[in-house]
Structure 1
Amino acid sequence: MTGLPSIRSIRREAWPLTDRMALERALTPDDDGSGECGQAAHIRPATLESYMQTYGQWLDFLARTEALDEAEGPGERVTPARVAAWRREGKLRGLAPTSRRQRLANLGAILRLLVPDRNWSFVIRPGNRSLKRAIRGGPKPFIVRDVAEVLVHVQKLHRQGLAAADGPERWRALRDAALLALWLTRAPRVGSLVPMTMDRHIALGPDGIWTLRFPGEHTKNGRMLDYPLDAERSTMLTDYLEHARARFPKAGATGLLWMGMKGPMTREGFQQIAKRRTLAWFGKANGPHAFRKWFRATAARRSPELAMDAADIMGHTAEVSVQDYSEASGLHAALRHGDHLAERRARHAGRAERAFAAERARWEEGDQ
């Protein structure tokens, strides 16, 4: 729509040398207490990965605008004028205000790690205003869909993949069906899916049921998640592995689980799958995070207790779990009260109708 190239993130190993050295310094433990390194020691791996992804997008912007000078250090190349141009490009692309604010917050966060002795307030407080005031946005409409509703489309996609002739369309359909079914029933984060491997993160039981294993470094709360799929989702994953994965180009050169036409799937690739399929099914593109919301909302509607289990699977804290439980309990209490009122109205309405019919009969008898 904007005519701009798609957003790309330069990987850490391709950063300029000065930036890589600054990051290594931030990651090196501060053993001597000098304070010259170790600024990233307290950052969770998933959070740091998010910061690096944004910084890779920033470097790509500089490269595309011919402003990336590898002789400069990160503190020199980040100027108010360049950051303002990056903000304007984000708006021109049509990025949501929340996305534009998050990009600036992430950029400011990683700059504090790379160049801790400089004030980066012009990044996170443009015009000396908070990001919410500087980049305003109204409430974003969002439709919460029931998992069962979306699964109908996923099941149809799976059947279409099995029926299709061998080729890229069949491979993509089987891959997307397995992936989307996994999102709907276990709601893993994209950051957990990217590094999944054949030998470490999935295991097939003798009953044909697959177990997913996410180590702590790949989960939101740093705790290992280990859970089985059900029979239908296991079948979808098996069909992807047996009929699609090995046929993707470069599949034989890696042990990573999720493959695309250009090699292992990236964060951007997962985003595109979710948006492409939901746009075709519902007329509105939703990213992977929407599946996590649908998963949690559906669990809460099924039973308040399931809200606790869903929050635990999604890696939320105990506080968030209690909040989800409370909201679900309140919702169910309101629904039960509404059902009770409806029953009482129906019951009293029936009595009133019978009384009115009897009175009308008496009136008709009197007229006669």
Structure 2
Amino acid sequence: MITPRMPPCWPISDWPYDDQKAWVRAAESDPLAREGQGASSHWRVTTRRFVQIGYGNWLGWLDARHGVCRDEAPAQRATVERVREYLTEMTAAGLADYTRAGRLQALGDALRTMCPETPTAFIGKLAGRLFAEARPLRDLNGRLRPAREILELGYKLMQSADTDHLPGVRKPIAFRDGLLIALWACRMPRVANLSQITIDGHLKRTGDRHRLEFTSAEMKQRRPWGCSWPERLEDALTEYLAVHRPLLAKRSTGNSKVLWMSQFGKPMPSASVAQIIKLRTTAAFGQSISSHLMRHIAATGLAEAYSNSSTDIAAVLGHTTTDTAEKHYILGRGVAAVRDFNAYLDTL
């Protein structure tokens, strides 16, 4: 039996003209100008991209199965029957629970902002129910590795920059990647935050130690988040800033303060940071350790080291409540959470 494939996603350039116009209007920053304007102006770039792709997936499917009527308003096309059929076909195509729920959420969010006068709440409710019932398609337990091994990989990469006689730019790259992965293992920031760290901005020196500080606008949960730079990595940070980063920044045409520099002297976007983590962990362990999986590892370590630790998990991973920690990570205290996790690492 051949598993059906979903039609391709429509890029925004292929959307009906009225849909494009409604999408742009919703993103404009003056909500008082006219109805619907500014409904999505507060969205992050990543959120806007997620919803745009989700709506493009819907239009691609709708055109392939029913034809897109360009004279209809976006919300008029999303009937209960069609949305139900869309969900049924995504299920038949083997899409994971979270993928199907995400596509429906994106469709509902797009219609809610593009056509606020039209009731489409049933789509969001359906997506919420799917998220509540969703189960991972893959078993993550088989891919979990002790946090100690991730940290050791970081140390090993930094050490290789001094002992393996790497040529040219490979030496500062190895040290950069090692420090990045070691910080990731100790603090578990999301890749988007890890990649945006700036010197004297997010990274601040207080006495003989450094701290990381992010504003609420920079955090996914819209709450400010900060922590001390790992004490065990203070010397490595000093060496990176004094020796290795200047070598990477030689090709820079500006005066960027971004902490992680590429071999071409440019700030590294989150996609590049994620790719480094993927490649380095695959080479070391035979399979990649994603940012999401690393957060499972951190939660597992805390749950094993401390009982009743869902508050710790929420604080360490930057969640607004303990619900996400309990549901998506591990069921298992909040100001001392980061210190507790590092104490756990010290015992390994």
Confirm or deny a common fold (TM above 0.5). Answer: yes
Q: Aligned equivalents of 1:161 and 1:239: distance in 2?
A: 11
Structure 1, gaps ≥5 residues long: 1-6, 11-15, 62-71, 330-368
Deviation at 1:165, TM superposition (A): 3.6
Q: How many residues align?
A: 296
Paired AA for residue 140 in structure 1? D
Which residue of 1 is the match for residue 277 of structure 2? 274
SS of residue in 1 equivalent to 2:197: coil
Give 1:156 deviation, angstroms: 0.6
Distance 1:136 1:203, change over 3 A: closer
Output the CA distance in 2 between the equivalents of 1:286 and 1:251.
33
Which residue is 1:161 aligned to?
A: 161
After the TM superposition, which of the residue ranges 308-317 and 290-299 deviates more from structure 2?
A: 308-317
* Greater fraction of residues in helix: 1
Q: Identify the residue that residue 182 of structure 2 maps to in structure 1.
A: 181
Local SS of the residue matching 2:204 = strand
Distance 1:111 1:256 in 2: 37
Does residue 286 (structure 1) correspond to residue 289 (structure 2)? The answer is: yes
Residue in structure 2 matched with residue 327 of structure 1 by the alignment? 331
CA contact (8 A) 2:36 2:114 kept: no
Tell whether the 8 Å contact from 1:154 to 1:180 is kept in structure 2 after alignment.
yes
Identity between Structure 1 and Structure 2 (%) = 25
Query: Where does 1:220-235 land on structure 2 (aligned, <5 Å)?
Result: 220-235=220-235
1:297 pairs with one of 296, 300, 308: 300
Are 2:256 and 1:260 aligned? Answer: no
109 and 295 in structure 1: CA distance in 2 versus 1, 3 angstrom threshold: same
Tell me, what secondary structure is at the counterpart of 1:204?
strand
Equivalent residue runs for 1:47-58 within 5 Å? 48-54=44-50
Matched with 1:28 is: 30
1:212 alignment partner, SS class? strand
**Any idea what the Cα deviations from partners look like across 1:158-184, whole Å, max 9, x if unmatched?**
111233445332232222222212221
Q: What CA distance in whole angstroms lies between the structure 2 residues aligned with 1:112 and 1:321?
A: 25
Secondary structure of the equivalent of 2:139? coil
Distance 2:25 2:286 in 1: 44
Q: Report the CA distance between 1:229 and its aligned residue.
A: 1.9
TM-score, length of structure 1 as denominator length: 0.61
Alpha carbons 2:162, 2:171 under 8 Å: kept: yes
Structure 2 gaps of 5+ residues are 1-8, 13-18, 58-69, 79-84, 334-348
State the match for 1:250 in structure 2.
Answer: 252
Q: Deviations over 1:96-128 (max 9, x none)?
A: 6634653553354245324545688999899x9
Residue 267 and residue 37 in structure 1: after superposition, are their counterparts in 2 closer, same or farther (change >3 A)?
same
Letter matched to residue 170 of structure 2: E
1:297-348 CA-partner distances (Å, limit 9, x unpaired): 112212236552332132213333884899329xxxxxxxxxxxxxxxxxxx
8 Å Cα contact 1:307-1:328 kept in structure 2? yes
Aligned mates of 2:54, 2:172 — CA distance in 1:
33
**What is the deviation of 1:193?**
2.7
Distance 1:167 1:160 in 2: 13
- Larger-Rg structure: 1
Name the SS for the 2:259 alignment partner.
Answer: coil
Alignment match, 1:140: 139
CA distance in 1, matches of 2:186, 2:253: 26
Q: In 1, Cα distance between the equivalents of 2:210 and 2:136?
A: 43
